[in-house]
Structure 1
Amino acid sequence: MKPARHYLARQPITDDRQQLVGYELLYRNSQDSLHNALGGTLEADTALLTNLLGSVQQTNGLLEDKLVYLNVGEAMLMSEMVELLPANRVRLEVSARLASSRELLARMRSLRQQGFTFSLDHFELTPSVEPFLDQVSAVKLDVQRLTPAILSSAADRLRHYPLLRIAERVEAPSQFRLCQELGLEAFQGYHFAHPETLTGQSLPPGLYNVLRLLSLVRADAPIAEIETILKTDLALSLKLLRFVNSAAAGQPVRIQSFAHAVTVLGYRRLYRWLTLLLITSETAARPHSVLVRTATVRARTLENLAERLGLPQTQRDILFICGLFSLLDVTLDVPMQTILRQVALPAEVSATLEHRTGRAGDLLALVCSLERMDTGAATTRLAQDQDLDAQTVNDCHCEAIGWAETLGL
């Protein structure tokens, strides 16, 4: 297989409670384009689909158990190549700008008989889309392109069809609320990753001890100080003991005290466990499970990139923490400055989280660009600045997605 010249991203689709219901796979080329790379000529689509299937095969977690939306052009749709995709896992996304010819509609009916389902993109209130509406299971409404009045009319028109109405390119909480008011059932975009103005909030009480422990571990404090906090937090101490027992499974180790547990685990592994516990805690994760997944994938992708770049273990750990904490302000609804005051982090981590500076900030910008896929050229430029090619970035990202899914987030 030729090295990939395209970047693969996976954008979540959520319900009105921001719980994950599916993904759209975005596969963009290195040109300055806002559009998915699939949907061109048959030759181009075939090459991209081959690379996509190769990336998917690297990790079972890329598709996982959620429905995946994938743009396909007319040439690909009419070819046998599309039948290589798993019909029960993939929803084929077609553009409403295509001519609804007899041949195209017949092909869609044939694929539906094979178990495929369809979604309709670029929806507009025009007679030309009517033939598609009986063939699709979902319709996407672009909130950046449609005015609120047209969006409302479209939502009402589609209410009469047995299909899922998805608001796409939802980039702000105000847009999310508008779409909720219109009764739309699903949402795509990064509205949940853009905080509104946060002032005066404090950290949830249940996370305070986790942050205290993170500070102590980071400062290489005596085990006795760590043990003192664990003795005052029954829930946290039980979680730690379960984790240590799991980590020591198969070894003749009997945990005799909290101090012994910390010794067996080691400060580095304890620090990693505490950071994961912080973002996956019940307080943090209940309303924002998609954010938790995104932050975890960011962390692992950054760690993988650091390894490919030959960076030392200390730098890999720093990048992991940067990725994991990069959405913590949105997850907890607490300003990042408040969080940074509560936990002693390396100066590079604090600077990256607050100002996105330094090499860690550049690598974090690359991963965020990959998530958003604003433009293929922007992602390419950020990757080239770090001496990374598309294949390496895709491999690191795909492995991170699979790894995050093994955590059961």
Structure 2
Amino acid sequence: MSELYLARQPIYDSELGVFAYELLYRASEENSAPAGAGDQATYSVLVNALTEIGLDELVGPHYAFINLTRGFLVGDNPMPFSGSNVVLEVLEDIPADEAVLAGVRRLAEEGHMIALDDFVYDESLRPLVELCDIVKLDIMALDEAQLREHVETLSQYDLKLLAEKVETQEEFELCKALGFDYYQGYFFCKPNLLKRTRVTGSQLALAQLLAKLSDPDVGMDELDAIVSHDVALSYKLLRYVNSAFFALPAKVACLRQALTYLGIDLVKQWSLVLAMSSIEDKPHELLTTALVRARLCELIADECGYEGKERYFMVGLFSVLDALLDLPLEEVIASLPLAEEVTTALLQQEGQAGETLQQVIAFERGQWDQVDGSAFSPEQLQGFYLEAIRWVRAVGMPLK
């Protein structure tokens, strides 16, 4: 695999289902590609995603948004994939001259979906807008009045609107009310603190269950009693243990058998995952994010030889608890009997586990300058990230 950082960011529909993933990448060790290298970086990521990794590994059944540079649009680089599940993004700093328009028209005629990135409307851009399928508006760069004006202006075209850099639930609700079709940003990983004034019964029950399952002193008998007392959790766990993912030699009929086959640490781990999956008013991608982080933290801990890699898994998993419960993370953590290392990692991102989580989130978000200080090569980190995605896809169906 080439020296390439490649991650993904989800793009949602109005029901918070995943519509697509934008591929975030950088093809060199430098914080910014040297002059003239952008086109080669673009072509490298396209070829790499298709031939070395596979788009299906990265985005599954969803669309993949990929940035294109001017050189790619006006050049004769062959497109290494069909257009069925790819959206090609024209970057905002590319002048819409005749050569670019011809390139975009050629790609559109070949059946590729076209998106305009960080778009600000100007009448001179009309020919380009008429060729595209999706327009992305950076809501951090436009105030509410400008957003409304853009939505009204673009409504005359046969295209979809995507709001990007949506960071809060309030911004999501505003964009939804304005008529946007798709949404991109990290709002789904943050708690909606204005949604309610008190903890709901289901959230309280989940917090209490997580507290019991997180207790490092819980023994086999007590864990059996905790899970068995929760009928839904017990059913989910037994169904999951009997799935193809574990491939056990015989059907498991009770939790005690599961404990015998898998051990207490693995049963606790999956009980936590399944308990978190029970919240119904949150996007499934939130749990996907938690699992990718958990597995990535675990893989890095294992490679580094850190003790207690199950704690690293828990740190990654619990990093979304605030968004899951719509409570400040400090409040959630205070209610859980966690080891000091785990608490410090989650609240301050300090210590070995905290630094690992910090690196994982930076990679997830394409913050490559923060990843550069890693002891791992891009190839190693990319391998861990892809392994985490594959692992989550393998475990995913029973969690839905």
Note the C-alpha offset of 1:18.
2.1
Hey, what does 1:379 align to over in structure 2? 371
Matched ranges for 1:2-401 at <5 A: 3-4=2-3, 6-28=4-26, 29-32=28-31, 41-53=38-50, 56-57=53-54, 60-197=56-193, 201=199, 204-207=203-206, 210-211=209-210, 213-215=212-214, 218-223=216-221, 225-246=222-243, 251-252=249-250, 255=253, 257-281=254-278, 283=279, 285-312=280-307, 314=308, 316-374=309-367, 376-381=368-373, 383=374, 387-401=375-389
| Residues matched between the structures, number | 392
How many Å separate the matches in 1 of 2:35 and 2:174?
30
- Asked whether the 8 Å contact 1:214–1:343 carries over to 2, the reply is no
Deviates more, 1:205-214 or 1:109-118: 205-214
Q: Which has the higher contact order (CA 8 A, sep 6+)?
A: 1
User: SS at the partner of 1:119?
Assistant: strand
Q: Which amino acid aligns with 1:304?
A: L
- The 1:265–1:398 alpha-carbon spacing in structure 2 relative to 1, beyond 3 Å, is closer
Secondary structure of the corresponding residue to residue 343 of structure 1: coil
CA shift at 1:327, angstroms? 0.6
Distance 1:45 1:229, change over 3 A: closer
Tell whether the 8 Å contact from 1:137 to 1:162 is kept in structure 2 after alignment: yes
What secondary structure, in the 3-state scheme, does the structure 1 residue paired with 2:242 have? helix
Report the TM-score, using the length of structure 2 for normalisation: 0.87
- CA drift at 1:340: 2.8
Structure 1's unaligned 5+ residue stretches are none
* Contact 1:76–1:82 (CA under 8 A) maintained in structure 2: no
- CA apart distance, 1:82: 4.7
C-alpha displacement of 1:100? 2.9
- Which residue identity is paired with 2:187? H
**Cα deviation digits, residues 217-260 of structure 1 (max 9, x gap):** x314241x3333344332222223323334775624663x5434
Closer, same or farther: CA 86–279 of 1 in aligned 2, 3 Å: farther
Cα distance in 2 for partners of 1:249, 1:154 equals 53
Deviation at 1:68, TM superposition (A): 0.7
User: 1:351-370 CA deviation, whole Å, 9 max, x = no partner?
Assistant: 21122210111111111112
SS in 1 for 2:111: coil
Query: For residues 275-328 of structure 1, what are the alpha-carbon distances to aligned partners after superposition, in whole Å with 9 as ceiling and x for unaligned?
Result: 2112222x2x5322221111111111112222332334x2x2111111111011
Q: Residues 345-402 of structure 1: CA distance to partner in whole angstroms, max 9, x if unpaired?
A: 232112211222101111111111122234x322213x2xxx1222211111122122
The change in CA–CA distance for 1:378 and 1:228 in structure 2 (over 3 A counts) is closer
Q: Would the alpha carbon gap of residues 307 and 162 (structure 1) be closer, same or farther in structure 2, given more than 3 Å must change? A: same
AA aligned opposite 1:21: F
Task: Quote the offset at 1:130 in angstroms.
Answer: 0.5
Separation of aligned partners in 2, 1:112 and 1:77: 11
Distance 1:177 1:245 in 2: 40
Aligned equivalents of 2:303, 2:52: Cα separation in 1: 17
* Partner secondary structure for residue 111 of structure 1: helix
The whole-number CA distance in structure 2 between the counterparts of 1:82 and 1:331 is 44
The 2-side partners of 1:227 and 1:362 are apart by 34
The one-letter code sitting in structure 2 at the alignment partner of 1:204 is Q
Unaligned runs of 5+ in 2: none
> Cα deviation per residue 1:109-138 (whole Å; 9 max; x = unaligned)?
332233211101131121221011121110
| SS of residue paired to 1:241 | helix
Contact 1:213 1:229 in 2 (8 A): yes
Amino acid at match of 1:10: R
Contact 1:209–1:229 under 8 Å retained in 2: no
CA 249–192 in structure 1, closer or farther in 2 if over 3 Å, else same: closer
Deviation of residue 211 (structure 1)? 2.1
One-letter amino acid of the structure 2 residue matched with residue 142 of structure 1: D
Amino acid at match of 1:404: V
| Alpha-carbon offset, residue 208 of structure 1 | 5.2
CA contact 1:143–1:167 (8 Å) conserved in 2? yes
Give the percent of matched residue pairs that are identical in Structure 1 and Structure 2.
32
What letter matches 1:221 in structure 2? G
